[in-house]
Structure 1
């Protein structure tokens, strides 16, 4: 009977070792990379094709700021009347949706 009680105590004791919480000291780091980072350029440095295309589509438009990314895509902040809109164009002056 002693052996049975001792065996039960050992089995139950060994099962309680698995219930001990484990501390994780490693932290998770998430990195987000945005591929469409634009750098600001002077409005005068815009290709003439883009400026002409904008004035053809919106004769009363006024370019406030201009940006370019590494794919040679342009982001324009354009004032149309009372509103300021963001427009995107490729290097050939074709408008893009983003």
Structure 2
């Protein structure tokens, strides 16, 4: 009976050691990395122009692409690229076009 108690105690202590040992594997420190992200935006200089000064090619392209669009304001930059502030329904947005009415992705 004494040997039985000793064997049970050994198994109990061994089990406790295994359980406590397994906790230490979860306590590892993860390496941290600090990354720096830099974003640079290049803002082009646009000058507002009168709606009458917008080339007909741009007005025609706008009418074709967005028949319900209302041209609110127009701007031009040094490269003769136009920025158009438009309203379609209840949404406002910007479009970019060259002087020939070709759309520019910006």
Unaligned runs of 5+ in 1: 1-33
* Equivalent residue, structure 1, for 2:62: 54
Deviations 1:46-83 (A, max 9, x none): 00000000001111110000000010000000001101
SS, match of residue 95 in structure 1: coil
Q: Which has the higher helix share?
A: 2
Larger gyration radius, structure 1 or structure 2: 2
Q: Does 1:38 align with 2:46?
A: yes
Q: Which runs of 5+ in 2 are unaligned?
A: 1-41
Aligned position for 1:81: 89
TM-score under structure 1 length normalisation: 0.64
Where do 4+ consecutive residues of structure 1 move more than 3 Å? none
CA RMSD between the two structures: 1.8
Per the alignment, residue 90 of structure 1 pairs with: 98
- Normalising by structure 2, report the TM-score: 0.59
Residue of 69, 72, 77 corresponding to 1:69: 77
The alignment of Structure 1 onto Structure 2 pairs a total of residues equal to 67
Alpha-carbon displacement from aligned partner over 1:27-53 (angstroms, at most 9, x marks no partner): xxxxxxx56200000111100000000
